[in-house]
Structure 1
Amino acid sequence: MSGLIVENVDKFYGNVQALGDISLTVDNGQFVCLLGPSGCGKTSLLRIVAGLEDPSAGRIVLDGADITSKPAHKRDFGMVFQSLALFPHLSVGDNIAYPLAIRGVPKEKRRAEVERLLELVHLPGKADRAITQLSGGQRQRVAIARALIMQPKLFLLDEPMSALDAKLRETMQVEVKRLQRSLGVTSLLVTHDQREAMTTADLVVVMSEGKIQQVAPPIEIYRNPANAFVADFIGITNLIQGRIDGGRFEGPGGALTLPGAKPGNATLSIRPEDIALAPQAGPDTLTGTVTFVRHLGATTEISVDTGNADEKDLTVSLPGRTHCPLEVGDTAHLSVDPAAVVVLG
């Protein structure tokens, strides 16, 4: 049975439409990421689900009950904000126990629940510590523990890791996923970080300009993007414009065999790791001039100018241990596996 259903939701701020006909189903226990650039509507959608804002149209259903008009404090949700919103004058334990305290839960039970949550978020024995004595990652865990102490039906996270440094952010992404999986709580995370979505989500919802572009598991989003926006937003890809006739794509730099491809104008999406260097031009190669080479340790990236219509060079990614014989100015022949090519309309 589906836990959360967002049905035909619109949201207007004056004459500006922030969300247009949004429909989404989240199964019980799923971890879903709302992913997109700033201004795409993902936070507005989260706030409507949380009850912090009202939709202009549509409804929100949880476990079969319409909660569209239900106040936020009665929705039994746990939420972690971008700012964390911890109380600096309260201890770690009192911050976590706050939702229980305002509901009149006895002190002994509050203490027991705090200790249980501190164990879950790997902060045992820190109940009496001052919030100001914690690191950024530890504060993050306290905010998560506070959101989970009421055993909510839905766990909502609004870009809570955006202020952390890159290494700590990746550590916390894994921790949040581990915790969510162990508790089995249905979760909805807003992020603009593609890596975060790929790390944590069972299902990724890619949004742009107030609309959903694609809903699918992370690897499906990456390997089979629904359109050029999704392909370009998720990871790095090469978008090549040209024309298909008789199963043959003709584009800048050469031609590729694409059996069964629909004839007509087309845009191809090819991931950098799906391109290899070839010794010479062939039936499924593209040719261009090397404009940049950079060694990144795990990979070597090569930029190649093939005369692409949008003036973007193709990016080729080679394993770091692979010898790269090319330098800037050299001619590069690029071999492409047709099975790895995604044809976009």
Structure 2
Amino acid sequence: MKPFCGNGFNNPAPHYYFDNSKKVSFTGVTEELSKKFTKTQKEVIDEFIKDPASNWVAGNLPQSWLNKINYLPTEKQKEVQHEIFMIFRAAIKHLKPYCAPVKSPEYSKRKVDLENKRLKEASKFLTKGLRKFGILSEGNSVNFKRLKVSGAYTQRGYLLREKGKNVSLDKLFIKKFNNKDKLGGLDTNYNGRYSEIAHGLYLNKKIKSRFMGNFYWGDMKAGYMAEEYQTLPKGISPIVNFKKNYKNVRKFFDELYDTTNIKSNELMRYGIKVGKITPEGFQPESKENIIIKLLQKILEKHGLFHNDLHNLNAIIGSNDRHKPVVKLIDVGGLSEINKLSHTTVTK
């Protein structure tokens, strides 16, 4: 790989871009990232460079949001969507954590108050912007709520939801990345804003499965991505726990479907072992061996592998009928399988 010119967003272009700038075709970064799997951070950055009109944003608003402006001509819809992305950029940047030294008196006294104040200010600012463009009715508002999240490349997580009468906008999970995904950094081909935004868009286009969450858009400059927020159906536990034994395999499959929306024939199709018959009845495999393996098999069918798939990024959400369904919600760690060696590509 040739060295990058400059650092960060001031000049993140590889040298060869300047050597071949006349050959660049502006086909749109969203389209390009959606139709092919980008293996490296450099490839993702190249696609943004080829599309300066993107302003370092790729993806689209959720359909329920776009429906609010579908009466406009196509070009005008694009303009409005871009304006909304810029409003989001300003709002997300305003949510920057309070950065006084952790052990200082100032930090302990003011951190919570300041961050709550910023949440309210960002919510108010975004509400005004969405009302201006007709996404949000005058009587309604949108509000940020900070969530508990973890991850080596994750700084903050937020729920954004509409409040008021006749709520119609899909809820969003806003994932704010930290600055560990610096150019050429360790694991940045699989994790961080560049790779995760690109791989989320590719997954949306490539795999049509009810087990895949929706990844809407991401902003490289603001360092966040907006995803489908998974709402748990009422009365359903977010944690799937198998009993040690079931009366028979049918009883197990019924419970599995009721709690995850996974059908028995889907497991059989992928050759996934579900358990064994014992004198006490049917003893299932662990949920990791069943649920996680199914998601990996679906990815594998499309030439992909998830290097960090576990219970925290495969959670229970709900489908259109408000029934529980397991969802893959995190693409950090997604890579392409080398078909010749059946190993993941690391370069």
TM-score under structure 2 length normalisation: 0.27
Larger Rg: 1
- Looking at secondary structure, tell me which structure has more helix per residue: 2
TM-score (norm 1): 0.27
Higher relative strand content: 1
